[in-house]
Amino acid sequence: MALRVLLVEDNALAAEATMAALRTVGHIVAGVTSAEAALALWEPGGCDVVITDVALPGMSGWDLLERLHRREPGLPVVVVTGSVPEEGAADPRQGKALCLLVKPVDPEDLLSRLGPPAEGRRSGP
């Protein structure tokens, strides 16, 4: 099932690699480089899953997660970070994310995590 994905990544190489992996399996991807641009583009029910980097210019990916969940509770959000969190030092908002992945993201790992939660949003009436 093709998913509608909103990718929020300010690193051009990481964005290109992620979009290519998602499109290879038929997902529809819109990419933006900031949380502010994501919020401007986002509309209720407009995507099945959001993938966001933590470190973005301006608003962080964690703050984006919070704002998206206020607007659309239950929206699956994958958070990506460039650094391995220290044990016990996880952001308290991490529990709201579908998962936290560390760069470089393995495309197969990412794809395997998107399926059921995002597809469940599309199987309604």
Q: And the tokens for 62? A: 């964690």
pLDDT, mean of residues 78-105:
73
pLDDT score of 85: 59
Q: Please tell me the pTM assigned to this model.
A: 0.87
Dist. CA 68–CA 82, nearest whole Å: 22
Average pLDDT, the chain: 86
For the chain, the domain total comes to 1
Q: What's the domain range around 64? A: 4-122
Three-state DSSP class for residue 110: helix
CATH number where 67 lies: 3.40.50.2300
- Res. 1 pLDDT band, cuts 50 70 90: confident
Using CB atoms within 10 Å of the CB of residue 51, give its burial: 0 to 12 exposed, 13 to 18 middle, 19+ buried: buried
Per-residue model confidence as pLDDT tens digits over 107-120: 999 988 886 655 65
For the ranges 6-10, 95-99, 121-125, the one whose mean pLDDT is highest: 6-10
- Please report which confidence band the pLDDT of residue 89 belongs to, taking 50, 70 and 90 as the band edges: very low
